Structure 1
């Protein structure tokens, strides 16, 4: 534990249990957040946090979780949890209206994958609410405040988040995997509509909202841009009976299907980009459940959020590994951002017999990538032996990465849930240079130039 000087703390927010401060970074450092609880942590709580954080760090989806970096002491004896600073939470992102459908689906796929893997490891989040859905500085979403240790040590008043809290939690405080699924459904409802599934009506008290959460089904969402399957999935996730809710792993599969459907309709979606604000504003729920009705945003062309979409162009080249040939640029185009990268310089070789840059020949057959959620299985064929190089372009990355060099014709690549990817196999026999057609997953459109 490090001791933190109060002079280094800048108040940011006060929650129902803890206070949040920004920590002044040292020269060249990055801003961090310190979440300070009202009392010191006892040894049992401290040890429990360490166990939870170690398990979270071992998950393949750990990059989508905001974990605790350290436990620090304040001079007054209180303990602070140091974490990465994320500039926005979901309520900030929907302040001007619902998110685009594609972003809601990607967000659901990422968060359900996190919950599914955590549940499989015996971990329960215990409080999936909008304030815990953060956006990192690089634009990627992250799930914060994971775990039960601190929730049991510092119980919170559930009334403030009643609209996003499972009925059984409101009744008897039962924190479970099924309650996590309910919370995720309610959070995605906010992202989809811009409001909670059980908004406070005029003249209602918090107790009235709780009664509706306990008794009434959440209203279905309609709108010509809302896939019926998405609305139906949220209804099942927020079922009153915990046994009727799908497991997180099943939710992942449904969002993967929705992603595939979104990709299939991507060409049509492009025709409606100028009206996406109007589509979002037109999503509706039964009027009797909403008061006041959200104000529609002004119709204007939408610039796709860079946060949960791939870059438009990602450059792939053979790189220094191809010692006998110069780099041949290959362009992957997994999305609709306007970011481009410059081609790498040609790599010269010491051999005087090497001819100028050869033209790559199509010939390596890359089979359709098999998406396993957190891994992708690649298989390819070629009539004769080559040395192969596999390149992976990940959504949000500036440069594709070489992930394999060798004579093999299959590879399992670890990927992050919810992100789009493009894959390409290159190969050489030392004289000629061959290349595959780039292929993508999760709706990525991959082309080469």
Structure 2
């Protein structure tokens, strides 16, 4: 346990229990924060915190949790938790307005996955609020302030976060998995609407907000073409009775279904087929004198009013079929050399000659994927804000899968251990399409 001089600390924020300080990084190190509590940690709290942190560090989704790096001591005997500095939290992100719908679904899927894995081990967060939903400097979301050891030692005043607190917690102080699900639903409500489920009214006391949380139904999310399934899920997550809420694992499944659904899109933010068509149309405009394109391979939807969906081209065991750009996952042959697997003959649009191809006005770069075994963190940069689509191809899969559409620049993708993968990002500004170079993990070879 290191002793931290007070002169090394810069006050940053004061919470209901602890005070957060910035710490100057050592040479070559990263900026950290020290969350200082009003009294020293007793042995029971110290041991409980260590056990919780060890279990959280072993989760598959540990990359989406803000872990404690060390427990330090101040000269006056108080203890502080040293952690990575995250420059923004959810309240900062929604100051400019609600987040894109697809971004909210992605955020919910990431946080619900963390809760589901923690709940499987008997770990309860105990206080999910917007301030605990953080954004790392990389843009990745992380859930902070996880665990009940410190909450039992330093109980917080629930009035300030009553709008995000489950009714049974306000009544009895009962911290449970079901209360975590309620808190996540309330946090996603804020991300989707820009305000809490029970925003304070003019002249209203904190006690009045508590009464509304206990008695009044949560107002349904409306407007912005929010999918009905997403609204229904949030209403269930914030049900008054704990038994009426889905568990965290069920919330993960429903959010993933929303993310991957393309059969019945209810909002532009989740309509991946429409996005693909827009990108295809934009791609054609990039060539000044490109000859008329051949008709794309397509299958007709049986749903009335649904536009034809592009058939994904399958090349080898894994493929990213991105319109006319097709990264291929190469497989090792019997002699050890890398060869493409044989594939059915396919008719594709002729590639434009160099003189016909417009020089991209936007630079879109996919960074090397971060492989965590059962998940991969993708991050990308662009010289201009765009709407993005992320495509993932799995070794032995049936074709590329659209994993994301939205304006964010990071994504955590679930993967199977041992399989090879290719990833690619496309972006559009409504007028043109821009494509990153494909990136691979586990020795896969991708080509366009």
> What is the TM-score when the length of structure 1 is the normalising length?
0.67
Residue 423 (structure 2) pairs with residue 393 (structure 1): yes
Aligned partner of 2:442 in structure 1 is: 403
Task: State the SS of the aligned residue for 1:72.
Answer: strand
1:109 aligns with 2:148: no
Structure 1 partner of 2:95:
95
**Maintained 8 Å contact 2:127/2:180:** yes
Please tell me whether the aligned partners of residues 111 and 143 of structure 1 are also in contact (alpha carbons under 8 angstroms). yes
Q: Could you say if the C-alpha distance between residues 340 and 166 of structure 1 is closer, same or farther in structure 2, counting changes exceeding 3 Å?
A: same
Tell me how far apart the structure 2 counterparts of residues 59 and 24 of structure 1 sit (CA, whole Å): 30
Deviation sequence 1:115-174 (CA, Å, 0-9, x none): 011000100000000000000111110000000000000000000000000000000100
Structure 1 residue 260: Cα displacement? 1.1
- The alpha-carbon distance between structure 1 residues 170 and 342, as it changes in their structure 2 partners (threshold 3 A), is closer
Instruction: Name the structure 2 match of 1:376.
Output: 416
Cα offset, 1:20, TM superposition: 0.1
User: CA–CA distance in 2 between the matches of 1:77 and 1:140?
Assistant: 34
Which residue of the partner structure matches residue 127 of structure 1? Answer: 127
How far apart, CA to CA, are the structure 1 residues paired with 2:91 and 2:326?
A: 31
Aligned ranges 1:408-447 → 2 under 5 Å: none
Moved more, 76-85 or 21-30: 21-30
Distance apart, 1:377 and its partner CA: 7.5
Mapping of residues 324-403 of structure 1, within 5 Å: 338-340=363-365, 366-367=397-398, 374-376=414-416, 390-393=420-423, 400-403=439-442
Does the 8 A contact of 1:369 with 1:378 survive in 2? no
Residues 35 and 80, structure 2, Cα contact 8 Å, conserved in 1: yes
Tell me, in whole angstroms, the C-alpha distance in 2 between the residues paired with 1:74 and 1:226.
48
Paired residues for 1:27-426 under 5 Å = 27-261=27-261, 265-268=271-274, 338-340=363-365, 366-367=397-398, 374-376=414-416, 390-393=420-423, 400-403=439-442
CA shift at 1:339, angstroms?
Answer: 2.0
C-alpha separation in 2, matches of 1:126 and 1:101:
26
Which blocks of at least 5 consecutive residues in structure 2 are unaligned? 280-321, 341-361, 369-394, 404-412, 427-435
Aligned-partner Cα distance in 2 for 1:251–1:146:
19
Question: Contact (CA 8 Å) 1:314, 1:393: kept in 2 or not?
Answer: no
SS in 2 for 1:340: strand
C-alpha displacement at 1:99, in angstroms?
A: 0.2
TM-score normalized by structure 2? Answer: 0.67
Matched residues in 1 for 2:367 and 2:235: separation? 46
> Equivalents in 2 of 1:319, 1:270: separation in Å?
28
Q: Deviations over 1:13-63 (max 9, x none)?
A: 011100000001122221001000000011111111100000001110100
CA distance in 2 between counterparts of 1:168 and 1:72 reads 34
Distance 1:82 1:179 in 2: 27
Contact 1:236 1:244 in 2 (8 A): yes
- Matches of 1:187 and 1:95, distance apart in 2: 14
How far 1:203 moved relative to its partner? 1.6
Deviation at 1:374, TM superposition (A): 4.7
Q: Deviations over 1:354-400 (max 9, x none)?
A: xxxxxxxxxx96436999x8543898xxxxxxxxxx34438899973
Superposition deviation, residue 7 in structure 1: 1.3
Q: CA RMSD in A?
A: 3.6
Q: Displacement of 1:207 after TM fit?
A: 0.5
Corresponding residue for 2:292? none
**Residue 340 of structure 1: how far off its partner (Å):** 2.7
Secondary structure at 1:50's aligned position in 2?
Answer: helix
Sort the Cα spacing of 1:260 and 1:374 in 2 relative to 1 into closer, same or farther, 3 A.
closer
Instruction: State the SS of the aligned residue for 1:71.
Output: strand
Aligned length: 331
| C-alpha contact 2:366 2:424 (8 A) present in aligned 1 | no
The answer for unaligned runs of 5 or more in structure 1 is 274-311, 328-336, 344-363, 380-389, 405-424, 427-434, 436-447
